[in-house]
Structure 1
């Protein structure tokens, strides 16, 4: 009795490509329904709506705020009043220049010289061109103090203003330091230093006002007798 011969017609040919077996390490892609998608997107949509409502509430307040002044606030110090306060303590008459109404005094103060040993009177102005000039006055100057006040910038020229010859110290702007121009001179027994970022014309103007004010103090006009 012969054994049955297996039917090989159902077997694929030896050279036929085999189907790739699924990778057991790859997780199946999740499938979500339309209802689940709407539920996932709902918080994002709610956040966008909340931000839009918040902007609508805030913007009117922003629009109603006053615009900042293009000119920054600059305090106008009463230099004459401050000079009266220190006149009794100072060993020299503190100068009160009058450079003009368009010059704004930022400060006027007395330094008793506890650190340097040289008491001095100082004033700072904002100039009409938006620059700054500081004044320092003393009658007890020494070379060390003067070098500190001029920031050790050497004399590069001289200038005449108000009938006084001023030494001019100029430092050019560099990567780590600002430009600086300093006038230093002897005016009626006082050493006066003017320094800042202002051009020479404004320094000349203030120097002239300083010499006029000190000349008036040292030689006051006689009062008329009745």
Structure 2
């Protein structure tokens, strides 16, 4: 007679979840991954694509201007104005012959222009030069100067000395460099009926050179006829 077979506990299937061990909390379930539709994906990518297209269009607009810009040279650009030609344009309007100095090689005229004196009441002719040493000197000429106008042109810098250049006597006004203002040297004088002011950051040697060229140029033209101010 066979002995009875002892009862065996039923084993759970292989894919059944295992029970947590006694004394431990059950672990959280892994959430399902979100899924987006193709339409939603196109909507999300649309701003990025639009930004890329906008940047490409902007580059296409900017690059031609960059390519067309001249390359910087080692020396800064200096306009070379024809002073004699500009003087011819204003000769009929000016009550005095506009001076046309010839300082020589290395001097470059940056501007030459006529000011009718609407603000100060004193018409004047002015020229600006870049000097061979890389400095600047401006010339102002009139035959109708008054003390107020002259103080403006000399920037109210007092006279500190007097020099002779080109056979004319010049008052020298010197302003030292400070935190608020740059250094300035001014020559002012009466030359053949004209009041001439030379000013800039150039040293005295270059101012003397230009003053000599001014007196030589004015000596070649007839003396201007003074015009009474109203």
Is contact 2:96–2:225 with CA below 8 Å preserved after alignment? no
Deviations 1:51-96 (A, max 9, x none): 9999999999999998521111110000000000000000000000
SS, match of residue 18 in structure 1: coil
SS, match of residue 217 in structure 1: coil
Q: 1:173 to 1:18 in 2, by over 3 A?
A: farther
Cα RMSD of the aligned pairs, angstroms, is 8.9
Q: How many matched pairs? A: 225
1:101: Cα distance to partner? 2.6
SS, match of residue 197 in structure 2: strand
Is contact 2:96–2:224 with CA below 8 Å preserved after alignment? no
Distance, in Å, in 1 between the alignment partners of 2:120 and 2:170 is 23
Distance, in Å, in 2 between the alignment partners of 1:29 and 1:176 is 70
Most deviating of 54-63 and 166-175 = 54-63
Is contact 2:114–2:125 with CA below 8 Å preserved after alignment? yes
5+ long unaligned stretches in structure 2: 23-27
5+ long unaligned stretches in structure 1: none
Q: 1:50 to 1:101 in 2, by over 3 A?
A: same
Most deviating of 50-59 and 70-79 = 50-59
Deviations 1:113-154 (A, max 9, x none): 000000000000000000000000000000000000000000
SS, match of residue 93 in structure 1: coil
Q: 1:188 to 1:21 in 2, by over 3 A?
A: farther
SS, match of residue 221 in structure 2: helix
Most deviating of 60-69 and 138-147 = 60-69
1:218: Cα distance to partner? 2.5
Deviations 1:4-41 (A, max 9, x none): 9999999999999999999x999999999999999999
SS, match of residue 94 in structure 1: coil
2:230 equivalent to 1:219 = no
Q: 1:8 to 1:15 in 2, by over 3 A?
A: farther
Is contact 2:162–2:170 with CA below 8 Å preserved after alignment? yes
Is contact 2:95–2:224 with CA below 8 Å preserved after alignment? no
Q: 1:35 to 1:95 in 2, by over 3 A?
A: closer
Alignment-derived partner of residue 160 in structure 2: 156
Most deviating of 192-201 and 3-12 = 3-12
Is contact 2:166–2:213 with CA below 8 Å preserved after alignment? yes
Give the structure-2-normalised TM-score.
0.68
